[in-house]
A and B are shown apart, each in its own frame.
Chain A
């Protein structure tokens, strides 16, 4: 965030307007701690700063360097797994990717609001408004698709299909629009519960051109007075916009209708985007109909997937047997070095050098030790 001036200044102004002397503030995903520091500057009595990555240790040092260790309590872990001793007046977060549908952003916000926010408390951001546009983007399209179009004399359609089902990060200008942008949805952080979203949007083409896909971006409303956007009409940000390419470019005339259905589903740790397109010419003939999904954007190994099927009977392979041995040895009685020694004796062909066994045990210990 520190490298994105627009974003940084917006969050600074939002905190300045919201944090009052004596406020208790929660900063989710504090990173190096800049928003926690700012909250103190604006009068916070106490700041709880949560961060699951190792950068929290840097944040602690920075807070100490600025004499704020007494006011900022750093908590290492996921916000959904921590408890706080009190409710807070302000929850501030910047957990987005380019769009609000990014990893555990929305579930974390909903959880924090329910468990930590005091009655009458404030969420920063307050809401996010997601916009969609139909765009002509020949450069962005060619960059990803063209290598598989020419094929150098070979049929490369299998790879082309992966490319046209991949969301891309782009920085497009307003001139790319072939129709007026439409609001896809508004996510109100004061009430959002469902991490999944869908939008059904209709466009009327106003500028004839070659349509390449759908552009998606967000307006971040931090407070009633402070907002910023990563849209094409705004100063370039580090995030840019998301471009969802079409299966093929489509010639569009003024007056043509384009319907876009966008669905975003949280699966495991990240989102799967699906986009459906129907373009209808003025004479009501359908000129294009696409059903696309990020599920089609990556190579799939059927044997790999079969191993996760409900009815599959798994048996540890060689690597699994090694990790199982290490985990079974982690009883709180044997040191890492001792486990590594036993590991080398148990699997001599796998660990030629003692350091290899030590590295393996250390890696498992870091993940699974208390």
Chain B
């Protein structure tokens, strides 16, 4: 498996609360008051981010759970992370190169 070339860790923002609503989820940014909805796959990614800051670990878990190519999964994961970051729902932490 190729490693994601994304030298950061991803952490949900401390100001976000969320609820799982039968597969979908609602995120609320307590700083901005903005609600954000996630579909079932987005909800699964968000759930994994609660315990895994390493995107590579998240990708590997998703590949175990979904029938999807690694390329497609990685692309969709990074797209969602970019949106979440733009909305201020996650923050990125740089990882020092090995």
Q: Interface of A with B (CB < 8 Å)?
A: 265, 267-268, 272, 274, 293, 295-296, 300, 302, 305-306, 308-310
Contacts and interface: CB of A to CB of B under 8 A. Distances in A.
Given A300-B21, A302-B21, A295 B28 contact: yes
10 contacts: A265-B15, A267-B28, A274-B17, A295-B28, A300-B21, A300-B26, A305-B26, A309-B36, A309-B37, A310-B34
A306 B17 contact: no
Nearest to B30: A265
Contact of B37 (A272, A293, A296, A302): A302
B35 A295 contact: no
B51 interface: no
Contacts of B97: none
Contacts of A305: 26, 35, 37
A308 B27 CA distance: 13
A15 B36 CA distance: 48
A306 B38 CA distance: 11
A267 B30 contact: yes
Contact of A295 (B19, B31, B36, B37): B19
Given A295-B17, A302-B26, A267 B33 contact: yes
B76 interface: no
B24 interface: yes
Contacts of A265: 15, 30-31
Contacts of A306: 37
Given A293-B17, A300-B19, A305-B26, A268 B35 contact: no
Interface string B49-86: 00000000000000000000000000000000000000
Contacts of A296: 17, 19
Which residue, B17, B18, B33, has most C-beta atoms of chain A within 10 A?
B17
Interface in B22-48: 24, 26, 28, 30-31, 33-37
Contacts of A272: 17, 30
Contact of A302 (B24, B28, B36): B24
B33 A268 contact: yes
A278 B32 CA distance: 28
A351 to B, nearest CB: 34
A295 B31 CA distance: 14
A230 B58 CA distance: 48
A199 to B, nearest CB: 14
Contacts of A310: 34
A142 B32 CA distance: 35
